[in-house]
C-alpha cells in the first residue's frame, strides 16, 4: 500500500482514496498553499520509505523568457488561473529521498550552501525527518543543473559533502558536461559552473555512471527523459505493487508546464524533445496508476496526475 504519514496530513478526492487504499473521504489541495519552507513529508511505497524534503524556493520575475513559445500575456493568464503570480512567482525545490534496506538514497542535492539564503534547507529538513545526512549511502543525480548538484560541494569549496556515498550520474549527461570544449560554448555566466564540474567530477573516485533502465538500488530503476537536458533522467520507485515516478525536471512548475505540456520552459535545452518526453512520461504515470513527485512542484511535491483536455492536472497531497 502507498501510505502517507505526517502528524497533520490530510488527503482527498475519490482518486486519492483508490490510489492510497484509504476508505474515508479525502481532499487534495493545490501546491500554492502547500509550499512551506522548513517541512518534510514521509510516506511509503510498499516497503520503501520515501521522504519529500523542502530545499526552499527562489522568487522569479515573470518575463518573456519563462516560456519560449508562449506570449507573456498567456503565461500570466495561466498563472492567475492557478492562483499564483502573475508578475512574480516562487520557484520551489523539493528533494526526494528514500530509505530502503536500512540505507538512505538521495535523489539530487539542491543548492546546499551554494545558493541564496532562501534555499539550502535540505540538511535541516533531513534531520527533521529523522535522516542523518552523514548516513547517505547513495546520491542519484538526474542532471547537472546547479539547483540539482550544487549540494554536492561544501560551500564555496570543491570539498565533497557526501564523500562516503556512491554518487550515481547519468552517463550521457556526464559526457556532455565534462567535454572540455563545452566551456567556450556556454554563456559567460554559466562558465564557472561548467569549470567546477570539470575540475571535480573526473577526479572523484566515488562516482558511478548509469544509463537508461539501470537498476540503481533495489526497487529503483532509471528512466531516460531527455529534452530538459541532453541526458536528463527520471526514476521509478516500485515495491509491493505500488509505484512512484520521480520526474526530476521533466517539467518545471506544474501550474504552467503540466497544464500546458506543449510550452517550452526557458530552461529546456530542446523544447520539442522535452514536450514529447513529458507527454509520454505523464501518459505512462496515468496508465500505470502511479504517483508522481516533481522537483519544482512545491511542497508537498507528491500527488496524482490526470488528463485535462490537451494537458494534464496535478493534484498534490495536503500537508
Please say if the pLDDT value at position 27 is more than 50.
no
Which residue in the block uniquely carries the three cell numbers 500575456?
73
Please, are residues 126 and 137 in contact by the beta-carbon 8 Å criterion? no
Please, are residues 312 and 280 in contact by the beta-carbon 8 Å criterion? no
* Distance between CA atoms of residues 119 and 44, nearest Å: 26
Specify which residues 314 forms β-bridges with.
Answer: 305
Of 219, 237, 239, 218, nearest to 46 (Cα)? 239
Of 82, 89, 92, 94, nearest to 66 (Cα)? 89
Residues 6+ apart with CB under 8 A from 257: 251, 263, 265, 278
Per-residue pLDDT tens digits for 165-223:
999 999 999 999 999 999 999 999 999 999 999 999 999 999 999 999 999 999 999 99
**Confidence class for position 300, pLDDT limits 50, 70, 90:** confident
For residue 228, the SS3 value is coil
Please say if the pLDDT value at position 48 is more than 60.
yes
- All structural domains of the chain: 2-316 (3.60.15.10)
* Distance between CA atoms of residues 312 and 319, nearest Å: 22
Please, are residues 236 and 245 in contact by the beta-carbon 8 Å criterion? yes
For residue 32, the SS3 value is helix
| Phi, then psi, of 216 in degrees rounded to 5 | -80, -50
Mean pLDDT, all residues of the chain: 88
* Distance between CA atoms of residues 139 and 156, nearest Å: 20
Per-residue pLDDT tens digits for 248-281:
999 999 999 999 999 999 999 999 999 999 999 9
**What distance, in Å, lies between the first and last C-alpha atoms of the chain?**
19
2 vs 63: which has the higher pLDDT: 63
Residues 1-23 have a mean pLDDT of: 36
- Give the per-residue pLDDT at 32: 32
Note the pTM of the prediction, 2 decimals.
Answer: 0.89
* Distance between CA atoms of residues 244 and 301, nearest Å: 12
Residues 6+ apart with CB under 8 A from 96: 50, 51, 52, 53, 107, 108, 246, 293, 295, 301
Amino acid at each position: 500500500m502507498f501510505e502517507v504519514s505526517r502528524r497533520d496530513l490530510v488527503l482527498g478526492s475519490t482518486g486519492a482514496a483508490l490510489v492510497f487504499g484509504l476508505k474515508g473521504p479525502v481532499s487534495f489541495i493545490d501546491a500554492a498553499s502547500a509550499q512551506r519552507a522548513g517541512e518534510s513529508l514521509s510516506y511509503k511505497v510498499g516497503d520503501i520509505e520515501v521522504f519529500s524534503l523542502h530545499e526552499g524556493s527562489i522568487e522569479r520575475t515573470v518575463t518573456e523568457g519563462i516560456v519560449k513559445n508562449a506570449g507573456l500575456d498567456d503565461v500570466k493568464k495561466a498563472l492567475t488561473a492557478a492562483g499564483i503570480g502573475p508578475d512574480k512567482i516562487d520557484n520551489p525545490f523539493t528533494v526526494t529521498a528514500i530509505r530502503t534496506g536500512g540505507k538512505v538514497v538521495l535523489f539530487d542535492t539542491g543548492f546546499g550552501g551554494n545558493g541564496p539564503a532562501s534555499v539550502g534547507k535540505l540538511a535541516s529538513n533531513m534531520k527533521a525527518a529523522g535522516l542523518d545526512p552523514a548516513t547517505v549511502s547513495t546520491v542519484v543525480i538526474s542532471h547537472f543543473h546547479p539547483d540539482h548538484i550544487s549540494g554536492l560541494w561544501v560551500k564555496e569549496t570543491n570539498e565533497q559533502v557526501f564523500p562516503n556515498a556512491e554518487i550515481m550520474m547519468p552517463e550521457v549527461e556526464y559526457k556532455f558536461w565534462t567535454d572540455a570544449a563545452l566551456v567556450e560554448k556556454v554563456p559567460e555566466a554559466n562558465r564557472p559552473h561548467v569549470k567546477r564540474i570539470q575540475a571535480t567530477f573526473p577526479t572523484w573516485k566515488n562516482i558511478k555512471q548509469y544509463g537508461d533502465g539501470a537498476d540503481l538500488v533495489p526497487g529503483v530503476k532509471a528512466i531516460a527523459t531527455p529534452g530538459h537536458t541532453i541526458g536528463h533522467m527520471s526514476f521509478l520507485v516500485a515495491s509491493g505493487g505500488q509505484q512512484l515516478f520521480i520526474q526530476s525536471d521533466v517539467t518545471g512548475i506544474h501550474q504552467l508546464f503540466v497544464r500546458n505540456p506543449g510550452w517550452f520552459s526557458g530552461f529546456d535545452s530542446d523544447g520539442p524533445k522535452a514536450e514529447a518526453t513529458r507527454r509520454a512520461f505523464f501518459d505512462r504515470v496515468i496508465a500505470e496508476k502511479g504517483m508522481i513527485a516533481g522537483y519544482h512542484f512545491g511542497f508537498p511535491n507528491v500527488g496524482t496526475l490526470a488528463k485535462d483536455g490537451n494537458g494534464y492536472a496535478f493534484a498534490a497531497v495536503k500537508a
